[in-house]
Amino acid sequence: MVHLRRSLAAIMALALIAPLAACGDDPKPTFTEPAAAEPAASGSASGAPVPESTTVASPVSLTITPAKDKKNVPVSSEIGVKVSGGEVTSVTLKDAKGKAVSGEMREDGSSWVPSKPLKTKQTYEATVVATGQGGASTTQTTSFTTMGEPGRRTGTGLYLFDGNTYGVAMPVVVEFNPGIKKADRAEVQKRMFVETEPAQPGVWSWTASGTQAYYRAPEFWKPGTTLKVRIAVGGLPTGKNIYGDRDRSATSKIGRSFEMKVDNGSKKMTVVQDGKTVKTMPVSLGKKSTPSSSGTMVVMQKMAETVFDTTDTDGADGYRTEIQYAQRLTWSGQYIHSAPWSTGDQGRRNVSHGCVNVSPSNARWLFDKTLVGDPVTVKGTGDKLEYGNGWTPWDVSWEKFAEGSALKAPEGLG
């Protein structure tokens, strides 16, 4: 996990949603004051004076980056610090007009991160003060000039809206276009900051293509959690001569716990809210030729009304149908939705094109209760959910998920 010492201001959030597809297609201790001791006699037992203690100031060594007078520095640059014999007590970064730039130290003390990308073709001056034991200090100053506008950019997206409330399984999802190659992922991941309150440390994990990265903790988020996210890749080198398009950020909340559990054996959905079963309902899943996927999914999108249209992909075998209360689970087109035409089959047999069919009244009840980010688990269909087909980080073990991180996961998680 990578995060800042203090929270960062949210800038904005961009949500990207794939084109609509139909079913199947795509804690101060108290101390007792001790009795006052008799004052000690002046001098030693022999009458000789006692020498006063002396604190010797330790030497402090400090090196900072970027190097002095360095040109063409990316606007994502941090003020790197290497200090021995003390710690950094002050970092000041000013632009050419003398205006101070805000920022914060990384938790590990390795660098100071500006709170937003620097401006292109601008000269900046950084002053760093490090203080050692005994009060000795040293100051280092450097100046550098940022690069111009890059020719190529990596498009980015953050699947969180500032101020929104999500379900307990909502992963932080970031998208990159083009995808980030393995050799570049560690540097990009270092600039992807997540802070949770209460604290629930997690890690980032990349999809094989590098087009998406997910962040989650070992368990679902605690209800009421605040997520503060900053994807600080604006101007960051993301590959050979490619740079991130912009910073993206959001501060969001996690709501109550609401889980939907679908069992193909019984052909029923069990709804559990805050640990208690609140409703069960019959379902019809995908028929043999178009089976539903088994796995742990997340509600990705909600639409009160939409149209499922597979005529472009399935030709004469395709269909176009108006749908109500649709909740997307996969990119390939698996939804929970109202299916008045299959109410007689629900609880008895599977007749859908891969979706979870429920009655109109149950579909409406669910739609009014759910949040984007609520978990949906389907089991017993015989068809395994493909990782990356939707927001799937909960469909693998914590150990497997953490293997996808480009950086070493914090010890003790899981």
Written as six digits, the tokens of 35 are 């009795």
Type of residue numbered 265: G
**CA distances in angstroms from 349 to 24, 197, 282, listed in the order given:** 17, 45, 10
Instruction: For 199-226, give one letter per residue: b (16+ CB within 10 A) or e.
Output: ebebbbbbbeebebbbbbbbebbeeebe
337 noted as active-site residue: yes
Q: Is 78 left (phi over 0), alpha (psi -120 to 50) or beta?
A: beta
From start to end of 198-319, where are the E strands? 203-206, 212-216, 226-231, 237-239, 242-244, 248-254, 258-263, 268-273, 276-282, 295-298, 301-309
3, 23, 337, 353: the active-site residue: 337
| Residue written as token pair 């690069």 | 147
Measuring CA to CA, which residue among 238, 252, 206, 254 is closest to residue 409?
A: 206
Tell me the C-alpha distance between 349 and 333, whole Å.
20
Contacts of 91 (CB under 8 A, 6+ apart): 79, 81, 103, 105, 112, 126, 127, 128, 129
CB 257 within 8 A of CB 225: no
CB 169 within 8 A of CB 257: no
3, 23, 353, 355: the active-site residue: 355
Beta pairing partners, 112: 79, 105
CB 92 within 8 A of CB 100: yes
The catalytic residues are 337, 355
